[in-house]
Structure 1
Amino acid sequence: MNRVVSFELSSQDPERAAGFYSTVFGWKIAEPNWGYYPATTGEADKQGINGGISKGPSDFPHGTRIQIEVQNIDETITKSVDLGAQIVREKMEFDDFYLAYLVDPVGNGIGLIQYK
């Protein structure tokens, strides 16, 4: 199985969104990295996931995406497209992981993440 490991909130004003979630829900928001504000939503010993807030691109300016960890991002992209998904962002490389954005066959935005 491939597990949901994170979420991403897209906003045209991520700093304001970070302030909202920090104040209302007590999330710990870290300094941005690549324009992405990591959000810790609870203690490690409690059930739940962490995520982050980023400036949404023009094709996904607002909304929430889940990030699903996969073992092989290239194979997962191919399988997804074969089953009707569309690629929004091709595989991107970051320091510790690869990331791609897709839209599933019914219109939900998802992220695929493969840790190095």
Structure 2
Amino acid sequence: MGRKGKKQPQPKVTWAQAFRDIVIAAMNRGQLLLLMVVAVVIIPVWKMTPEESSRLVFDVLENLKNGSILGYILFVSTVLGWFFHARAMRRIYSNEYRRIGKEKSAIQSKAAGAKFKSSDR
């Protein structure tokens, strides 16, 4: 059980430490490029005045109406579709390879008459 008494004060996390942790996590998961693209889009919008940002929203809506940014939307949706499809295929193939490995190990153990340790972690 826990100790009774004074609680240890939690160290304060600064914005720089939080940003560093976010960048490191994005690097580990292969999402650094996505993080950079989001930052390049979000930071300029954040720095705009309210009048400029409302004008930007109306310009984007007008371009959506006349179809001039339809190609960008289709491109982004195609890339997202590819990403999710590739991820699903990797998961399916990994499961199949794992199943084949277990089946092969069982057959080898049966043929040798001995139980072998698995190399899986």
TM above 0.5, one fold?
no
| TM-score calculated relative to the size of structure 1 | 0.21
Q: Between Structure 1 and Structure 2, whose CA radius of gyration is higher? A: 2
Greater fraction helix: 2
Greater fraction strand: 1
Kindly indicate whether structure 1 or structure 2 has the higher relative contact order, using CA contacts under 8 Å at least 6 residues apart. 1
| TM-score calculated relative to the size of structure 2 | 0.21
